[in-house]
Structure 1
Amino acid sequence: MIQFNQVFKRFGDNAVLKGVDLSIYQGQVTAIIGKSGIGKSVLLKHIIGLLEPDAGEILFQGRAINTMTTAERRALKMKFSYMFQGTALFDSMTVYENVALPLKENRRVPLREIGSRVRDKLARLDLVGIEDKYPSQLSGGMKKRVAMARALVTDPQIVLFDEPTTGLDPIRKNAAHAMISEYQKTFGFTGVMVSHEIPDVFSICQRIAMLDKGRIIFQGTSTEIQNSNEPAIRQFVRGQDPETIKAAPSER
């Protein structure tokens, strides 16, 4: 569905993406993993068009995005939704207003339809009865569900998740992962998730891609990455520090 071909991106002297090749398949959830500060969120922003590559191309269903007209690119962005790190709910807005916001920004959606679509998503995510509450009145797990409702209210084809479980305790983190998995199956969207939660994401993602030193060094299933013999991959998956490994005495 989405393909990166030799994508490069630098910010000043800092080369972040150094020839990324990546394939994202329709109807699956793909996790982008790798060390902190390696460029995973930068990669995610290229998918939705918040950033453009310095070189290389990004294709959507086989067509290069940079060859699309302005109207075609605008229509493409309507197929995407973004679930931000930390939910990014607006404190001054009620739950209803937060979820309705993407539809209100799209002036082609009638007011009557906005109400029915918001109520439908709130009901399907078990959020009935809190429409008039504010984010400050909600638990962390409930905020995640509200953010999910806002991400899904436009019926997107692709949902991008930027570290959706950051700051959650283990119980809420597992609940958030289960929610993403459940609603991906229910709504059928294609998901791309940036995550540090290893090995938790392996159970909810059909594909894993590992970014390291500006390139994708692995693409495949969770089983394949856990069975990989590549040292950098094995060390990251097992949470091992390469410098510690080098300093440790060899086993006999």
Structure 2
Amino acid sequence: MKRALVTGGSGGIGAAICQRLATDGHHVIVHANRSLDKASAVVETIVAAGGNAEAVAFDVTDRSATAAALETLLEAGPIQILVNNAGIHADAVFPGMTGKQWDSVLDVSLNGFFNVTQPLTMPMIRTRWGRIVNISSVAGITGNRGQVNYSAAKGALHAASKSLALELASRGITVNCVAPGVIATDMIEGAFDSDTIKKIVPMQRAGKPEEVADLVAFLASPQAAYISGQVISINGGMI
């Protein structure tokens, strides 16, 4: 049984990923920022279905707190599957964007990636097997109005993933990005109505969190051993 950590595991896409990885037989560590109760609720769902999971809460932007939390988790053994799913929006057109909006989005998506991934790399290398999946966005590929900060963070995550994939390839560790389009979660409520979705998505519907989870689960599986350094879109044909 491999141990998997999913940051932002208490949200819509994150919870679906946690549940799918647990179904595949992994011990899943469900992460939340501050809402440990939400992560615990996901754990309860997993355990009720016969899976193995535990909840943890820490702020991925706090390097020392993250390092301390990961050190405690590593006492039980290496984490061989890491899904960096934590991310936030702080949308505004660029002329009106504040420094706080810029910093907060890059801090979670990009610095959070470093703060979580770097301490787990050597323990993963020692096992000669690992899967790192970074959850990105179509905005990191095409850009999006009102999301210069978010697009910048996700685009940088693509480049970082490709570089890390090169460093870890000989160690049996793959690194990939999954870039969802419009997915039916609480985050898009109020942002996209059904008519808008039909206009921008060729499949004329929002994706399901479970569909993203299926892709992540495949990339985390032994069957995906020869796939690394890739940005894989899941967006209903948007691009």
State the TM-score, normalized to the length of structure 1. 0.33
Instruction: Judging by fraction of residues, say which structure has more helix.
Output: 2
Higher Cα Rg, which structure: 1
Instruction: Judging by fraction of residues, say which structure has more strand.
Output: 1
State the TM-score, normalized to the length of structure 2. 0.34
Highest RCO, 1 vs 2 (Cα 8 Å, sep ≥ 6): 1
